[in-house]
Chain A
Amino acid sequence: MPKDGGIGASTKRREDVRFLTGKGRYTDDINIRGQAYAWFVRSDVAHGRIDRIDTSAAEAMPGVVKVFTAADFAGVGGIPCGWQVTDRFGKPMQEPKHPVLADGKVRHVGDPIAVVVADTLEEARDAAEAVVIDITELPPVLDMKAALSADSPKVHEELSSNLCYDWGFVEENKGAVEEAFKAAAHVTTLELVNNRLVANPMEPRVAVGDYESHSGNHTLYTTSQNPHVIRLLMGAFVLGIPEHKLRVVAPDVGGGFGSKIYHYAEEAFVTFAAKQVGRPVKWTSTRSEAFISDAQGRDHVTKIELALDAQNNFTAVRTETYANMGAYLSTFAPSIPTWLHGTLMAGNYRTPLIYVNVKAVFTNTVPVDAYRGAGRPEATFQLERVIDKAARELGVDPVELRRQNFIKPDQFPYQTPVAVVYDTGNYHATMDKLLQISDRAGFEARAAESRARGKWRGFGVAHYIEACGIAPSNLVGQLGARAGLYESATVRVNATGSISVFTGSHSHGQGHETSFAQVVAELIGIDAGQVEIVHGDTSNTPMGMGTYGSRSLAVGGSAIVKATNKIINKAKKIAAHLMEASEADIELKDGKFTVAGTDKSVDWAGVTLAAYVPHNYPLESMEPGLEETAFYDPSNFTYPSGGYGCEVEVDPETGKVTILAFSAADDFGNIVNPMIVEGQVQGGLAQGIGQALLENCVYDENGQLLSGSFMDYAMPRADDLPSFNVDHSCCTPCTHNPLGVKGCGEAGAIGSPPAVVNAVIDAIHRAGRTDVTHIDMPLTPSRVWQALNA
């Protein structure tokens, strides 16, 4: 096996050839003959009653094909939610209607009210100005705690309140947790905000609908992370189109970070409208629209308490969180602050008792759903911040306090008090590795050098756990998921030995076309160039669940391994026939089949050719051809973990924080392509640091989005970031998937925000300002300065 192409090789990403030369084919590159263009008229108030919509002037404008309003969608279902959470009292969450176009009320700035379809984009846009909409403004619901008061206006009249659910986990432990707090030698309390973020993938969302009247076939081209999920949700719940009449294609997609998981109204609209107007219909989001229509992330307000005994052992954790759902339930929104958050509150620690309370609240803001990490960054942030605060209160080293409470290497598999079982991990090893690569020993000297320049230097650590490889279908079914979370693969071996792999995973920056090919090449022992990865089209890939939750290699890769093993088993039978040997004696190595103990051999292409030209073939016992499909449903989550260290310098005069160094020691289990893994970690770190220092989604008191462009929403840029020090040599392979992999896509965004904030607090404390115990993200110069000058 050539090591530049198999498992463990840093093979250069083959997809980059087209991405870097402008040859990528994105949804907006798809233009169908005769297509019309859609322009959405959106609400510019946060909350209001629609009194009147007059489209007559717009319909008379040049080029206008049709103007759609909610009335056109009377016979159509609403946008569905894919996860039903059950509250502390055993009742299902409150689930409001989510019409394709606003019906009677608008509930956030950006809520679509009408759509103009016209011959050209310019005509659609001009006519949109002529759509007359009279709205009576209603008082907006914005603050989550106020939203739950009895006299608050309601976002949805049909619900009893603005509370989606009041979730307790583990509810049975609540009493025991309270007892543990009473018995604690020390309790550390921290109130914090996990700031709302806008995903901002480089490519805005696009959807093109097409309809073939003679066949009744619909096609939707869309910027999606999971085309099969969109087909199922939109076909079955919104438009009533059976799968065989609906094809969903997600071609090259320029980043998603979670925001392209969900089924959006615009997708249903173009699919529906294409049939209505008898022409393909295209919608391309502007950046401004993306800010008010893409699902946003995070937005938790949390109080966390940590109880410790007299020896500084963690005895209990208790949290109370308000989680913003926005105006409607996005596809997976209810699961994020619950099952993807509460189950991670043990972190890397042996805390025996944990109680997590989450109140999910409707507000007149853009819907909130998963964003890179999804629930796990929120869990990690509060836990790693409260541990740091406890260490400072107790006067102990934050690293030692963590180490003392870590789950020990010999305690795996480890059953946490929050349902999940960690299969493997070695947190002491990743922490040691972190201290080594970040040269913590040399920190004091560096701090002295900063002091001499009038700057405050600080060092912060965080240690994260995440649950990836989402997810065992029977388990998530019990937890309220309305979908299975397996993955699929079809491996089609062609006659001359080349291979096409059809995967249900979807690559939108992860490099699947390269790393998946490495896996297949390794298993068979052929050159990776012989293997092509096909994804993103429901018409040629088996039903799969797509890419999110760092699941692609762990779940999708495992399906590919299963299908490839089926191929190898059949190929061995063919080889045995060709060499007139017993199947049990056939060995496959470096793309060649041999009979053990003899010099007989037949190469890979000899077998594959026999499968398709079966002149000499056991047709009585075996079908010709060489193509296999496999579905893999994981038996557990995977649990990547790691130690992150951040070194900052704070300018006490201006409050500006500069990140001087950032080190990440991750345990991702086995690694297929180290270069891709490093890229994933670096990208995650950039986003996590963006959240910690720069990004903040802000609504004003009227529910107007103030941070609605890149002038006001600060994305991290290269000059905000240091050169990262990334290590993944610590390896405890996953025990329950065939590759022993854990997933790496979200780690950087999960582990970095608490490391950054801990470092800033460390710098401030070292300068003697121990009165500053917390600053809410983003730690902008203004916030840090205000904390120092309060």
Chain B
Amino acid sequence: MQLNDQRDIKAAPDVVWAAILDPQMLQAAIPGCESVSGSVEDGFEAVVTQKVGPVKATFTGMVRFSDIQPGQGLTISGEGKGGPAGFAKGGAKVRLDPIPEGTRLSYEVDASVGGKLAQLGSRIIDGFAKKMADEFFQRFQQAVEGPVTVAEEEAAPEEPAPEGEPKKGWFKRLLG
């Protein structure tokens, strides 16, 4: 499966770039990541526990960086073996572009699974991969931008619900 998306991060490209190469940041961003060790040059070994549909497994695998263009982008590829659960592998082409607010991070992700994961989980794998990618970059963004304040977090859900909302619901019920 493949998916493309982008997010705007309130930090300069060189800050974002440094974060991408930081294994601590990687561990914080990979959902379900238990440990990351290694280096940019040799690759990182990561242990990740995830549940895909009916299959829960701990994957051990390598994360490698390639096509490194400092400050502009790179390719992250990973392959994890989950023992009897099979394997998962995937990659993300990441691009950084400066924008007035900071940095636009665009990514193209492709992922594939094999073994029991594919046999039992194929129907949900696309949604799962999208969720994983979204979550990865969401967490990455949060880690770079720093913790969101409580006030902001509470304010956010209020935004899409304008004042007329309850009335509209009531009106709709009446008509329905």
Contact = CB atoms under 8 A, between A and B. Distances in A.
A703 to B, nearest CB: 9
Nearest to B82: A44
A711 interface: yes
Q: How large is the interface on A (under 10, 10 to 19, 20 to 34, 35 or more residues)?
A: 10 to 19
B147 to A, nearest CB: 39
A109 B122 contact: no
Contacts of A109: 114-115, 118-119
Contacts of A708: 118-120, 122
Contact of A44 (B86, B120, B122, B123): B86
A50 to B, nearest CB: 15
Contact of B112 (A702, A705, A707): A702
A291 interface: yes
Contact of B114 (A125, A288, A704): A704
Contacts of A128: 84
A141 B123 CA distance: 23
B63 interface: no
A45 B112 CA distance: 12
Contacts of A707: 122
A705 B83 contact: no
B123 A704 contact: no
Interface in B13-59: none
A128 B86 CA distance: 13
Q: How large is the interface on B (under 10, 10 to 19, 20 to 34, 35 or more residues)?
A: 10 to 19
Interface string B101-142: 000000000001111101110110000000000000000000
Given A128-B84, A129-B83, A700 B119 contact: no
Nearest to A706: B122
Contacts of B87: 44
Interface in A118-155: 125, 128-129
A712 interface: yes
Contact of A702 (B114, B116, B120): B114
Given A704-B122, A708-B120, A44 B112 contact: no
Given A44-B114, A45-B114, A704 B119 contact: yes
Contacts of A436: none
Which residue among B83, B87, B114, B116 has the maximum number of chain A CB atoms within 10 Å of its CB? B114
A700 B122 contact: yes
A709 interface: yes
A253 interface: no
Contact of A712 (B86, B115, B116, B123): B123
Interface in A679-711: 700, 702, 704-709, 711
Contacts of A705: 118-119
Contacts of A129: 83-84
Contact of B119 (A45, A288, A702): A288
Which residue among B112, B116, B120, B122 has the maximum number of chain A CB atoms within 10 Å of its CB? B122
Which residue among B83, B118, B119, B120 has the maximum number of chain A CB atoms within 10 Å of its CB? B119
A129 B60 CA distance: 13
Which residue among B112, B115, B123 has the maximum number of chain A CB atoms within 10 Å of its CB? B115
A220 interface: no
A747 to B, nearest CB: 33
Contact of B115 (A44, A700, A709, A711): A44
Given A128-B84, A129-B83, A129-B84, A288 B120 contact: yes
Contacts of A712: 122-123
Contacts of B112: 700, 702, 704
B120 A709 contact: yes
Contact of A711 (B84, B116, B123): B123
Contacts of A327: none
Which residue among A44, A45, A128, A700 has the maximum number of chain B CB atoms within 10 Å of its CB? A44
Interface in A219-265: none
Nearest to A291: B119
A292 interface: yes
A371 B112 CA distance: 31
Contacts of A45: 114-115
A125 B84 CA distance: 9
Nearest to B125: A706
B134 to A, nearest CB: 22
Contacts of A125: 84
Contacts of B120: 288, 708-709, 711
A56 to B, nearest CB: 17
A462 B116 CA distance: 40
Contacts of A292: 119
Nearest to A130: B83
Contacts of B123: 706, 711-712
Interface in B63-100: 83-84, 86-87
Interface string A425-444: 00000000000000000000
Contacts of B113: 704
Nearest to B120: A709
A45 B122 CA distance: 15
Nearest to A704: B118
Nearest to A137: B114
A697 to B, nearest CB: 12
A109 B84 CA distance: 13
A787 B114 CA distance: 31
Interface in A36-62: 44-45
Contacts of B86: 44
A236 to B, nearest CB: 35
A380 to B, nearest CB: 31
Contacts of B83: 129
Contacts of A709: 119-120
A101 B66 CA distance: 37
Nearest to A45: B114
A715 to B, nearest CB: 16
A702 B114 CA distance: 8
A109 B112 CA distance: 15
Contacts of B118: 109, 700, 704-706, 708
Contacts of B122: 700, 704, 706-708, 712
Contacts of B116: 44, 288
B17 to A, nearest CB: 32
A113 to B, nearest CB: 12
A540 B105 CA distance: 75
B7 to A, nearest CB: 29
Contacts of A44: 86-87, 114-116
Nearest to B119: A708
A711 B114 CA distance: 17
Given A109-B119, A708-B122, A711-B123, 4 more contacts: A109-B115, A128-B84, A288-B120, A705-B118
30 contacts: A44-B86, A44-B114, A45-B114, A45-B115, A109-B115, A109-B118, A125-B84, A128-B84, A129-B83, A288-B119, A288-B120, A292-B119, A700-B118, A700-B122, A702-B114, A704-B112, A704-B113, A704-B118, A705-B119, A706-B118, A706-B119, A706-B122, A706-B123, A707-B122, A708-B119, A708-B120, A708-B122, A709-B120, A711-B120, A711-B123
* 7 closest A-B pairs by CB: A44-B115, A708-B119, A704-B118, A706-B122, A44-B86, A129-B83, A44-B114
